[in-house]
């Protein structure tokens, strides 16, 4: 089962980083379900989960009560999820037989600019297709592409970092093991 995003860049009015816990998306879903709640907030670049503590908090997650949340997304609880499934695996569900550019899915918020920590502009002035080919040839999982100057970088493990520039992170689903 795949978690259902109800509102991208939406924040439950009561949600805050201080009241959040570092969890995977699947764990967050399951804790919210265990508490009897239908909604939760998840901040994927930090792996932060916010779950309502009472019915009033839960009402702040309804789309008429949410606030703009940049890095936050509101999710609907969708039944119990396998907690051994990583967020990368969740993003790549249904892409097991992908090929080339079709294997790359945007990771993290596109509203803000993010890149994986340690990625440099070693490749500049290249197009997206070159960056895809480079990432696949290197056998790496995370591709970073900067639209303003065609910068490209790839890395195996990603610690997302806000950049304030046009970087975006993509997952190479061809490299994500889906056997859990």
Residue 76 sits in a domain whose CATH number is: 3.50.4
Classify burial at 69, counting beta carbons within 10 Å of its beta carbon; exposed 0-12, middle 13-18, buried 19 or more: buried
The structural domain count of the chain equals 2
Tell me, yes or no, whether 90 lies in a domain. no
Report the C-alpha gap between 29 and 95 in whole angstroms. 22
For the whole prediction, is pTM greater than 0.75?
A: no
108 conformational bin, left if phi > 0, alpha if psi -120 to 50, beta if neither: left
Tell me, yes or no, whether 180 lies in a domain. no
Report the C-alpha gap between 57 and 76 in whole angstroms. 14
Report the C-alpha gap between 136 and 159 in whole angstroms. 20
Q: Give the pLDDT of residue 180.
A: 43
Q: Give the pLDDT of residue 174.
A: 92
- Which of 59, 85, 111 marks a domain boundary? 85
**Which parts of the chain sit beneath pLDDT 70?**
1-3, 108-112, 178-180
Q: Assess whether 141 and 107 both reside in one domain.
A: yes
- 118 lies in which domain range? 97-175
């Amino acid at each position: 089962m795949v978690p259902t995003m109800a509102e991208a860049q939406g924040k439950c009015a009561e949600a805050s980083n201080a009241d959040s816990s570092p969890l995977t998306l699947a764990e967050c879903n399951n804790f919210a379900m265990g508490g009897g709640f239908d909604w939760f907030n998840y901040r994927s670049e930090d792996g932060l989960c916010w779950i309502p503590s009472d019915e009033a908090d839960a009402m702040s997650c309804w789309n008429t009560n949410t606030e703009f949340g940049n890095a936050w997304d509101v999710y609907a609880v969708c039944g119990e999820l396998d907690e051994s499934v990583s967020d990368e695996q969740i993003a790549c569900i249904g892409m097991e037989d992908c090929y080339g550019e079709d294997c790359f899915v945007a990771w993290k918020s596109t509203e803000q600019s993010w890149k994986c920590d340690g990625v440099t502009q070693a490749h500049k002035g290249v197009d997206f297709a070159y960056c895809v080919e480079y990432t696949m040839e290197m056998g790496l999982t995370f591709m970073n592409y900067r639209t303003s100057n065609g910068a490209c970088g790839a890395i195996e493990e990603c610690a997302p970092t806000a950049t304030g520039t046009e970087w975006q992170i993509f997952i190479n689903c061809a490299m994500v093991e889906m056997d859990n």
